[in-house]
Structure 1
Amino acid sequence: MINDASSVRIGALVPLTRPGWVEAGQHLLAGLELAVREVNEAGGIAGHGPLELLVRDTAADPQRATAAVEELAGLGVAAVTGEFHSVVARAAATAADALALPFLCSSAVLDALTDEPTDWVARLPPAQSHGWRCYADFLVDAGHRRIAVAADPSVYWAAGTGILREHLAPRGGTVVELDVRALTPDAVCDAVAEAGATALLLLVGFPDPAVPLVRSVRRDPRLAGLMLGAPAGQPELGEWASLLGDDGAAVPFLRYLPERLNPLGTRVEAALREQLGAAPSFVAFEGYDAVTVLAELLHTHGPDRARLAASWPQVDVEGTRGRIRFSRVPGIAVWQWAWPPVQVVDRDPAAPARLRVRHTG
């Protein structure tokens, strides 16, 4: 990384160690680093020097993220970006708002990213209420009305359950909640069979308890026709397939990619594939787009934090997944890209390495 005092610094919050979702963090970091490298190869930030990325590992810990934002603010970063885990991003956004430090959330979807409206925070991914309603539409279209959710205790999972229940109820859908803290994987199977659910959604951490839950369901003859789902996207990354093999196929999840990438996205996809040694997930594209937005603002307004934060509504830049503009969305307290493309995707049972699109929203 560049250490020249004349560089423009931006902070990056990334889960790179457990209990964070490390593979997601690696993809996010790959996108961030590729975009920074391309900005600097093109001459850096006009009049201010190269772009420098200061990376901090959050390990999915909200307190660690808060401390990192405070540290980065003291190091003079112009802005902070990143973070995959919603509860961690919420802590980072709250800290950035308090410090008057621009924060562009690359990958976390929790609607309540901050408690009060703020001009210091903007977000690229769709709010959870938008994406998970698309997932609920997919469930209804597929004929599912009796849904079970196996959930960890978390603000994020509780919000997702509420969104599903609210969106399904008017169409005759019901949601049965199962607390994975109190139930073994086999006990979850018993409860799902007793409830007569046709779908079980895994609102849990990965690899544990997601992997044991999938294995138990797949081996239970009572649940042979049950659809497993994972709205938060656990099956997207390679570790899911390597741990579960064929058992991990046909588990629909949300991802934020268009049906076809634009020319920029196609070029970036090839570069990320080479960098990662694997197909990039949507999280890698989010990282690239986050730096693309910040670089555009820095080119126009320089590294002044107040000017950057005041400029979210002026953003109009081509990202890998479409034109990025921020607006105020009812019920969302931060500047929001409304909306990135949303897909429901799963791994093809005939070839689990291949992803197939099941629904678009």
Structure 2
Amino acid sequence: MSAPSTRPETEQADGSSVQVGVLVPLTRPGWVGAGRHLLAGLELAVREINDAGGIAGRPLELLVRDTAADPQRAAAAVEELAGLGVAALAGEYHSVVARAAAARADALGLPYLCSSAVLDALTEQPTEWVARLSPPQSRGWQVYADFLLGAGHSRIAVATQPSVYWATGTRILRDHLASRGGSVVELDMSALSPDAVCDALVDQRATALLLLVGHPEPAVPTVKSVRRDQRLAEILIGAPAGQPEFAEWAKLLGADGAAIPFLRYLPERLTPLGVRVETTLREQLGEAPSFVAFEGYDTVAVLADVLRSNGTDRARTAASWPRVDVEGTRGKIQFSRTPGISVWQWASTPIQVVDRDPAEPERFRVLHSG
């Protein structure tokens, strides 16, 4: 079932809205916490834009569709939204889902601003129709590998599941670490129990275990098993994909979920806009907004600027990606062509490696920036 659209409280001008299709994971097996934060950022930006007069006097409206982390469901939603006449497509968190959405958007000639998915090859061929706010996986995961090396970890184990996203991440880590004297061993979580992972870590003499697996299963039981194994008291557990970012992680794991470094896409300091947005989102969510919430807000900020300048013609919107110059919550957003990346890319997305402070798990510590 589709989620309800986000409609402005009052209509303006002739009453016709400018509609943008939105993809978010709102139900399992999607990462529901991420979807909730992404949608909160998107909706806040829409409210503020409509309060300021909308798009040339017309209200902006989001037509929201729940992907539930299903690529086929996402592709069908793109077809539906394109048929409904949306001016553009936005959102999504899961990389494999965003890839399916991007492929359909490209085929249909529907401009798509991807909020929070990192696969380098978001489309098989270079496209003019798709732009992206989150950094490509190769850049972010290389920053993470540099953090590991800087922390003295060169023998890395990865607990992984079958997925193009996890496989790509493993390859990026292996290539980057190998060129610097490090190594990566894979532990197949479709064949190993959490306790068997502990035995494998001891056998492999790994100093770090990275969780390239789903949340909460099997990530949470794996963390619990490793934490209670005295043979592994000194091992670093890491989660580059960002599982510890969300409150559910701390709720399920408590102190065991602290000191697990992950990637997030925030700067050292938010822009003045970002500071204001953070305050509002914290009140709205009842918890600290994740970087995904800021990605949602920035997505709408960019699309609103493009639609004000170019109207709702889809081809003109797609042609405008290289001219975007928007002050977002995390810095100035501009798109360019990056070697090896098939879409228009925000090249200066901020990247941090952070963890939850063991002394105060609700507080994040910045360990490395790239």
Q: CA deviation at 1:170?
A: 1.4
Matched, 1:21 2:26: no
**Structure 2 match to 1:350:** 359
Paired residues for 1:233-272 under 5 Å: 233-272=242-281
Q: Secondary structure, in 3 states, of the residue corresponding to 1:64?
A: helix
Alignment deviations for residues 50-92 of structure 1 (CA, whole Å, 9 cap, x no partner): 0000000000000000000000001110000000000000000
Q: Deviations over 1:296-340 (max 9, x none)?
A: 000000110000000000000000000000000000010000021
Distance in 1 (CA, whole Å) between partners of 2:322 and 2:153 is 40
Please name the residue that 1:115 is paired with: 124
Q: What does 1:200-349 correspond to in 2, within 5 Å?
A: 200-349=209-358
Deviation at 1:39, TM superposition (A): 0.5
* SS of 2:168 mapped into structure 1: helix
Cα deviation digits, residues 264-306 of structure 1 (max 9, x gap): 0000000100110100000000000000000000000011000
Q: Give the 3-state SS of the residue equivalent to 1:93 in structure 2.
A: helix
The DSSP-based 3-state class of the residue aligned with 1:101 is coil
Q: Distance in 1 between matches of 2:102 and 2:248?
A: 29
Question: Paired residue for 2:145, among 128, 136, 140?
Answer: 136
Distance 1:194 1:297 in 2: 55
Distance, in Å, in 1 between the alignment partners of 2:44 and 2:357 is 30
What is the aligned counterpart of 1:36 among 46, 56, 59?
46
1:171 is paired with a residue of what secondary structure? coil
Equivalent AA in structure 2 for residue 184 of structure 1:
S
Deviation (angstroms), 1:171? 1.1
Whichever residue aligns with residue 34 of structure 1, its letter is L
Say which SS state the counterpart of residue 170 (structure 2) adopts. Answer: helix
How far apart, CA to CA, are the structure 1 residues paired with 2:159 and 2:275? Answer: 37
Aligned letter for 1:12?
Answer: V
Cα distance in structure 1, aligned partners of 2:156 and 2:274: 35
CA separation in 1, counterparts of 2:367 and 2:102? 33
The letter of the residue matching 1:33 is: E
Q: Percent identity?
A: 76
Which letter maps to 1:347? R
Matched, 1:79 2:88: yes
User: AA paired with 1:2?
Assistant: R
Q: Which runs of 5+ in 2 are unaligned?
A: 1-5
Query: Distance in 1 between the 2:334 and 2:341 partners?
Result: 15
> How far off is 1:6 after superposition?
1.1
Letter in 2 for 1:203: L
Which amino acid is 2:87 matched to? Answer: A
Q: What is the Cα deviation at residue 2 of structure 1?
A: 3.0
- How far apart, in 1, do the equivalents of 2:243 and 2:344 lie? 26
CA RMSD of aligned residues (A): 0.8
Question: Which ranges of structure 1 fall in alignment gaps of 5 or more residues?
Answer: none
Structure 2 CA distance for aligned equivalents of residues 36 and 9 of structure 1: 11
How many equivalent pairs are there? 360
Q: Distance in 2 between matches of 1:242 and 1:225?
A: 24
Report what 2:3 is aligned to.
none
Structure 2 residue 99 is the aligned partner of structure 1 residue 90: yes
After TM superposition, list the pairs within 5 Å mapping 1:144-155 onto structure 2.
Answer: 144-155=153-164
- TM-score w.r.t. the length of structure 1 is 0.99
Q: Deviation of residue 20 (structure 1)?
A: 0.1
In the TM superposition, what is the alpha-carbon distance from 1:110 to its structure 2 partner? 0.5
- 1:22 & 1:252 partners in 2: Cα distance? 21
Match of 1:66 in 2: 75
- Residues in 2 aligned to 1:38 and 1:119: alpha-carbon distance in whole angstroms: 29
Amino acid at match of 1:28: L
Does 2:6 match 1:6? no
